[in-house]
Structure 1
C-alpha cells in the first residue's frame, strides 16, 4: 500500500473576513490534503509565516494598505521558493503580466462558484508538489559529497553546478557555469573537449559506464576525477546530470605505484650494494618526495649509511649499532615505525636535533631505510606503505648481491683449493707413481702392489675432488643433447667388461661436461658394484621419464637403509671406491636444477631417477 500524500497548509490572505472564512471552508471541502489558515492584512500574514509552517500563500490583489504584489515581494525576501498564488477579483492582462514578472507562482480570478475553488485547490496542490520537488532536488544537489553539474541535453551548456564542484576546482558558481569543457580540461596528452563529449554521450547511453578525466583547477593544476552521467527530469525538462567523484589521490597513488614498478627493474639490475642503495634513495626523493632520507646496511654489527638523499645534510645520517635507536629497533624487530613527533618518542636518536618526525622501514634482514622532516606530522601511514613497497625490491637485490658475493668468495676458495690439490697433491702423486714403476723394475715385493693400489686410490680421489671444486655451482649454458648418442659415447670411455647398455631415444637440454661426468660415474658405479648374484654381466638401461630420465641396472641394488647416504661425499661400500662418484652425480644434477633420487629398478637393481629435466622430444 502506498503512503498517503503529505498534507499541506495554505495561508489565505484577504481583507474581507467573510471571504477568507468561505475560502477556507470550500478549499478544505475540495481536498482533504489542504488545511487553511487565514489573515486579513499583510502584517498578519507575514507574522503567521514566521510562526507557522506554510506550504503555499493565496492572496488577493487589492487589499487595504498593501496590495498582493507588494506582499509577494515581502514573502520572496523571507521565503524565496514558497509558492504564491494570486487569487483576485480584479483581472486584466496588465495585472497578470505584472504578477508573472514579479515571480508569482500562479494567477487565478475569483468567481465561478464552487468550480473555481476546485480549480484553486488543484492549482495549490500542483504548486506545492512542484515546490517540494524543487526543495528535495536542491537539498540533494547541494548537500551531497560529490560534484554535480546539470547540462542542457541539446546544447551541452551548463545549467547548474553545486558548491562541492566549485570548491573542487576553485571557481565560484558564476565562473564555473560560464566555462566550457575545453576550459576545464587539463593539458594532458590524449584528453580534449571532443573526447570528453564522446565519453559523456557514452555515459548517458550506458548506465554502468564511468570514466576518469583530468580537470584543470583555477590555479592551473591538474585534478583527476571520475565521471558518470545520467538523464533526469528537472522541473519538467530533460537534463543530463553529471556526477564528479574526486579520485585525484587514488590516481596519484596509482601513478606512483606504476613508477615504482619501473624503478624496481632498475634497482634489480644494480650490480653493487652501493648502486642499489643509491638508486633506492634517489627514487624515494624524486617519486615519494622524501626530501631527506637515507639507507643503512648491516655490516659487522653496525648499521652503516650507504646512500643519503641530495636534500639531506652531509652529516644527516650516521653509523649506529644494530641495537641502537629507532634504526636498531627497526632492524631487530623487522617492523616499520611512523614517528609523528620525535619529542614524544623515547626510542629515536636522530642524527640532527632539527629532525622532528620521520619513518623507519626495515629492508628485509639487510638494513633500514629512514626518511625525516624538520616539522612534526610530516608523514602518513600511506608514506610508510609506499616506502615498504620501494624497499621490498631493494631487499631482494641486497639479498641477491650478498649471496652472489658469498658464492664468489666460496668459488674463489674452491678454486684456491683446486689449485692446491692440482699442484701440491697431483704432482707428488705423479712422482710417486713414477718412482714406483722404477722400484718394480728392481724388486717384485708383494708390498709394491698394495702401494700401487693406494697411490691409484689417492689419484682417483684427487681427480674427483677437482671435478667437484671446478664444476660445481649452477649451469650457465645448456645444449640440445641426443640421449642415445651421448650415453653411448660416455659408455666407450668406461671399462665395462661384459656389461651391456640400452638407451631410449630422446633429446634433452643439459651441460655436456657435467652430464658426461654423471653418466660415466653411474656406468662405472654399476659395473663395479652392481654385479648380479649369479655372476652374470650387469645390464644398464637409460630410459625416459615425464620431465626427466633414469639410469637403472639389474644388479644387486642398494638397500633401502643406505639410499639416503649414497650421495654423501666419502660414502663407499668397497675399499677401492673413493666415495665421491655419486656425490659428483648429485652435485652436477643440482647444478642443472634437477633432482636425483635412488629407488629400486624394475629388475631389482638400483635406479637413479632425474627429474626437472627439460625433455625436448622422446620416442613414444
Structure 2
C-alpha cells in the first residue's frame, strides 16, 4: 500500500514538474492534428503572442500564418507526416493578439503514434528581432554591393592576417571600377599579396602604407605612384581599417586615378619655373634702368622747363606699373598649396586702406571665414576696388558679401560691364581706362583660379559690375 502511494506521489510530482517546465520555458508548446487544428497551446502563448490559450484552441493554425508563408508551413507539415522520425523546422510570420506580424521559428515533431501526444508537437520561439537583424544585414549587404558596383572611385579589400611572425596582407576583392581602370580582375589577385601582384618594389611600397594604417588603427590618406599603365599611374588613396573584436582583420581602400591632375601640376610647376626666371629678368634687368630713367627725369624737371617732361614722367610711371603688374601676374598666379583661416572683414579693411578710393564707399554685407592665402588675396580685392573706382567714379559704392553657401561677391553701382565684354575684361592687356595696364582683372582671375576657385562677371543689383567668386572652402 505504501509503495502504491509513493508511486502515485512520484507521478504527481513528475506531472507537476513537467507542467511547470512547459508553462515557464520561453518556448511555446503547441499540439495540432493533421488538418492543422490547434488542440493544445501552452501558457507561454500569452507572453509571446498576447493570446489566452482558449483563444487559439480549436482554430486552424493556418488562420494566423501570413498568406505568403502558408505554403512553406504546409510543406513542413507534409514532410513531418511523411517521415515521422525526422523533425522539421520552419520560419513563418504569425499574427499576434494586436494584429501585428511577428516571426516564429517552429520545430515540428510527429507524435501521432507515441501514445502520449496525439498530434504534431510544435516547439516555437519568437525570432522577430533576429529576422529584423538579418533583414538589416541583408539590406546593408545590398547597399554595399550597389556601392561597390556603381561608385566611380576604385575600391579594393585587403585581408589582414596578424601572427607572431608579422602581418600578412592579401587582396580579397576589387570593385568593377577598379577592374575597369586597371585591367586587373578580382580573380587575378584574390588570395595574393601586393608583392605577388605588383612586384617586389611596388608591392613593398603598398605594404608600407598598409602597415602604417594598421599601426595607426584609423583611416589614412596619401598619394601614391602605382604604375599600372600610362593612363593610370598616380592615385589618391584613402585606407580604413575594419576592426573585429580588438583586431584589425581587413583594410578597405578607396582610390582615385589622379594621373591627369598630377601631370598637369608637374607641367604647371615647369611653367612656373620659367615664369620665375622671366620675373627675375624683369625685376633686375628692367627695373634698374627704369629707376635710373625716373630719377634723371625728375632731376631734369627741377633744372629745366619743358612740355615734354610731364608726358615723359607719366610714361615712365606707366612702365613701372606694368612692371609691377607683370611681376604680380608671374609670381601670384601659381597653384596655392598652403592656406589659413581668413576673416573677410579684416581682409577687406586692409585692402580698402591701401587703395586710393577718393570719396568711394564700401559696404560689407556679410562676415565670413574661409581658407585662403591672405597675401595673394590682397591683390584680388585691391584690384577689384581699384577697378570699381576707375570705372564707377570717385563717389562709387562698393558692396561685398556672401554669395550662396561657398562664395563671395564684389559689386558696385557704376556703369557695369556689357555682357559681350565680360570675358574680354579678364584677358591680359585689356583696359578701358586711359592709364590702366590691362592686367588688374587678369591678376584677380589668376589668383582666384590658383586657389581652385571660380570667377565670373555679371550685373550688380544696382546695374553696376558684379564679380562672383565661388567654390570657396569654408574655414574649419
The normalised TM-score by structure 2 is: 0.50
Ranked by relative contact order (alpha carbons within 8 Å, sequence separation 6 or more), the top structure is 2
TM-score calculated relative to the size of structure 1: 0.39
- For the pair shown, the structure with the greater C-alpha radius of gyration is 1
